[in-house]
Structure 1
Amino acid sequence: MTDRTTDKPDTAPSMPNAAPSEKPKADERLGVITGVRVCAKCGFNLMGQLTLREPIYGLIVARCPECGQVAPLQEYPSMGRTAKRWSTLLGSLWVLVVLGVGTGVSFALMGLMFGSVEIGSDDFATMLPGSYWSTTVDRAAHQELLTDLGGPIAAIDPWVLGIWFGGAVLAVIAGIASSVLMLGVRGVRLALLPLVLLAVPIVGYGIRRAVVLAEISAGSTSKSEVAEWLLGPTISAITLAIFGVMIMGGATFGRALVRGLVRVLLPAPMRAGLAPLWLTDGKKLPRGRGW
């Protein structure tokens, strides 16, 4: 019997149109990252790093210079017309909310200042001669009484300290909020601009003092109004000074405090959305768990 088996070739026949194998090209440099983008592994800010097109799949990537992690860059579609309208509307509402809250805080500070004047002069009112609800202004007698008490500051009722403390807390919070909202402002302007919150208390007290003066000039008045007329300037000046210093302190150190809270409460990859808190002051976005 004849063996019909034939030996198979060791290699497959070459395809006639087969392209020769090419060596992968090196990564193609496309540009740099201009926005805030953090490394998903270590949290390092990739702003300013080169964007590359890797040769195998053609993906646009960036390499973290700290840990070497390769991060693919995704392009997100731009908003449509309806989405842009909604974003404009929400942005306008946000501005209105900020202005409304600022106005409310300003009126709250005015109320606290009025309360401090009333409570601070209440004890001195009981020392004035005459009937409580019907008395007259005797400048010589009142000045002598103030001198005996040690001056206007010594005559202030200590209970006013509670109002000053509450107002100081509110003023610090207002200053911190102002520093976060006004990210485009730095330096001395950042400390001074929030003082506009004191405009309403100053104008309001000026009107109140004019009303008290009109009542005193009309003749008989109450002891509380006389005491407020005598001690009001001193109490209001101290109140405004406390509020002003607290607002300036909150505005000056507010961003640093907020940045510290962000470092403590959020992991590094989640800080990208809050990067303007660092970038507006020329600081680098922190990575890892460090300060």
Structure 2
Amino acid sequence: MEIPVYTLDSFTNLPFKGNPAAVCPLLHELSDDLYYKIAAETNLSDTAFITRINPSDSFTTGSRFRLRWFTPTTEVDLCGHATLASAAVLFQHIKNVNPTLVFETKSGDLHVTKKEEGYIMDFPLNPPTRVEPNDFKDTIKAAVGNLPVQEVLFCYNTKKLLIRLADSCDISALTNLKVDTVALENTERSGRFCAVIVTMKGSPDCQPGYDFYSRDFSPWVGVPEDPVTGSNHTVLGSYWSEKLGKKKMLAYQCSSRGGELELELRDDGRINIAGQAITILQGTIKL
């Protein structure tokens, strides 16, 4: 059996930046065991598997597909950068003729529309709830050390803990943050959450005008630090829109690779997440 595989860097137009994802368009479903083995082999934060829903469709003419995402250890319910990469593979490499694609996923239908530069993803909005920091004090300490924290929130839909640094912090406090992800993982073993997002207010008056910054640590799903996390921005977009009083925002995830996301909160309670993707590898898995 031969399976086509592509590796794309998402939320960037430069190679070796953004977040790399592997994408495998499949003519037939595989066993879950094989999905896990392929994801472990690619060893990227996420590997996406696209399958046809209607056998009479092709990847060129079809507009509706099934999409699943796997980290090296876990299947996840929502993944932004691998959805963006999947759409890019269908549009760029397989020359899909439709302006919009729909992916059936564990998080419902996700629409991706081609635009002049990049793609717009229609995602659910996942508002976080403010929580008592003392309930998460060991995790907060492991994540940000002695940096001042403005508030702590939790998103029950996505099981992600959101730590906002105080506005007195400089961006260097976030970019230079060194997190022992093994120690971080050991602070939470009950399965309460799967990721810690550290965020801070941006500098919209300085070019290119980022409204907020963030980083993501997800050792609980086998990803010590995710370089650019689209799904996090379903949480961050909700939070910062309320704090900043803005519907349209420009966000930057300041991992060592870094990536940029354009956000727009919609009147129907969902969020548009836009970004670019660039292909860096194309090959075949032979089994």
- TM-score by length of structure 1 reads 0.18
Task: Identify, as 1 or 2, the structure richer in strand.
Answer: 2
- TM-score by length of structure 2 reads 0.18
Task: Identify, as 1 or 2, the structure richer in helix.
Answer: 1
